Structure 1
Amino acid sequence: MDSLITGTAAGVPFTALPPADAGPAPLIVTWHMLDAPRSDAAFAAALPMNDVPAWRVHLGMPMCGARMVDGSMDAGLELIRKDVLMSYLYPFVRQATEEFPAALASIRAQLPVDDGPIGVLGGSLGGAVALRVLTDTETPVFAGAVVNAAIRMRSVVGLFPGDYPYDAESEEAVDSLDFVAKADVIAGRAPLLVVSGEQDHPELRIDAMRLVTAVGERSELLSIPGLGHPLADEPGIEPAPQLPLAREVDNGLTRWFHRQLTNVS
């Protein structure tokens, strides 16, 4: 991690890790979890993918890391209490996706990345951002990967206490983030690796398997025995030593992106 670069890209904080030669190379962009690791720097430490011959640029999610309000997650917790879907989950994914094109242009201006298709990676709620880049944007992508991802937002809402009071607006919002329903679009865009901890929430495990089945031959499932939902210990904001199970995820992602870059070249 000694060679990492930190900065902002069109207002979005990032932690960037260069390839071994630190020269021009392809780009992989990531979005972190809201569980630990819950910042771009912590996600870079958990999943550095050091042996991938590409720049890995880890973007900060809204109201996380450097964008926390008053240096804490309290403002985000208040949004959860207000309306977990329409004040928290849905706007976070929407903002992260909408701010991405300008952030990508800024990254290309700041770092020696090539102008070809990018890789995308997301963990948990960040997985919904990566999948939305695949399904709802025109950004060229050579490969995608998600880890313990929010694949169907309705399943994520169901993890919170109580019965959510859906109405027409929230039904439309939650259905717009159902990526099993958009599997045909994903299959037409890029190969996808779906990493799922065998101890993750059962609903998310089911969604992971359904997505791989729906995408078909351009998708692979990587199950990690013993892995729950988080990839790091709490509080998960600052970089921390890589946990053994996170190393297994990191190794799987490294093999995946290395293979896909070889296929592209």
Structure 2
Amino acid sequence: MDSPITGTAAGVPFTALPPADNGAAPLIVTWHMLDAPRSDAAFAAALPMNGLPTWRVHLGMPMCGARMVDGRTDAIVELFQRDPLMSFLAPFVQQATEEFPAALASLRAQLPVGDGPIGVLGGSLGGAVALRVLAETGTPVFAGAVVNAAVRMRSVVDLFPGDYPYDADSEKVADSLDFVTKAPAIADRAPLLVVSGESDHPALRADALHLVDALGERSELLSIPGLAHPLADEPGIEPAPQLPPARAVDAGLTAWFRRHLPSTD
């Protein structure tokens, strides 16, 4: 595995994996899961995509990794116990999306990645960030991919105990994070690989299939036998050996991004 480089980009912690020659190359940016692996360093270990001639920069999600409060996940637990949608899921996606442009500019200043189109990848809640970047920003993207993604936020909210008490505000927020409805905008931006574990939560797997159907020829589905929702064992904060299902995901992502790499002509 290439030696990781750690740092911050406009306040966002990152773990960067360089290409084999450590030189100038295209950039792929990722956002990790909130399940294991739940930090940028752990996500880099689970999905290193070492076969790619690119820089792979794994950004930390809010309150994760180096941004954990007191080095623990207790503060996140408190947020989703308070209100899983309005205190946890939606704010995390919003913050990660809003801090991305400045983080990208900082990465371009720190690493030899040029100013061309990038690749984007997100897992679980990080998948919602990648999808929002595709659907709602102007950042040039050559290809995207999501893994067990939060495609429809209502489905994620349903995974929490109890019946969620939607009101007008939370209904609007949930609708804004339904990326099946945003499929035309996503399809206009870049080709998208949708990776779905065959043992993922049934609703999340159904949403993945619906997204692929809505995207049409601009999308491909990669089903991974034996993959549940996480990509790593608990606690999922520190880098860990790659599990066999994650290895299959990693191979699929590597092939996908390699196929869509920008021409160097």
Query: Taking structure 1 as the reference length, what is the TM-score of the superposition?
Result: 0.98
Q: Secondary structure at the residue paired with 1:200?
A: coil
Shift of 1:201: 0.1
Question: C-alpha separation between the residues in 1 aligned to 2:243 and 2:9?
Answer: 29
Helix, strand or coil: the match of 1:63?
coil
User: Paired residue for 2:79?
Assistant: 79
Q: Give the alignment of 1:34-45 within 5 angstroms.
A: 34-45=34-45
CA contact (8 A) 2:119 2:141 kept: yes
Judge conservation of contact 1:152–1:207 (CA < 8 Å) in 2: yes
Q: Output aligned runs, 1:106-117, within 5 Å.
A: 106-117=106-117
Q: Counterparts of 1:82-101 in structure 2 under 5 Å?
A: 82-101=82-101
Aligned to 1:26: 26
SS in 2 for 1:128: helix
1:143: how far off? 0.4
Q: Which blocks of at least 5 consecutive residues in structure 2 are unaligned?
A: none
What secondary structure does 2:261 align onto? Answer: helix
Give the aligned partner of residue 224 of structure 1: 224
Mapping 1:53-202, distance limit 5 Å: 53-202=53-202
> What is the aligned-residue identity percentage?
81
Give secondary structure in 2 for the equivalent of 1:105.
helix
Q: Give the C-alpha shift of residue 21 in structure 1.
A: 1.2
Q: Secondary structure at the match of 1:230?
A: coil
Q: Root-mean-square deviation (CA), in Å?
A: 1.0
Which residue identity is paired with 1:219?
S
| Partner Cα distance (1:24, 1:191) in 2 | 24
Task: Quote the Cα distance in structure 2 between the aligned partners of 1:2 and 1:198.
Answer: 30
Contact 1:119 1:141 (C-alpha < 8 Å) held by counterparts: yes
What amino acid maps onto 2:142 in structure 1? F
8 A contact 1:36–1:235 mirrored in 2 = yes
Shift >3 Å, 4+ stretches: 262-265
The Cα shift of 1:262 comes to: 5.6
In structure 1, C-alpha distance between the alignment counterparts of 2:58 and 2:142, rounded to whole Å: 17
Does structure 2 retain, via aligned residues, the 8 Å contact 1:29–1:121? yes
- The structural deviation recorded for 1:232 is 0.2
Q: Distance in 2 between matches of 1:34 and 1:185?
A: 26
| Residue of structure 2 in register with 1:208 after alignment | 208
Shift, 1:264, TM fit: 8.0
Partners of 1:142 and 1:264 within 8 A in 2: no
Q: Counterpart amino acid of 1:67?
A: R
Q: CA deviation at 1:90?
A: 0.2
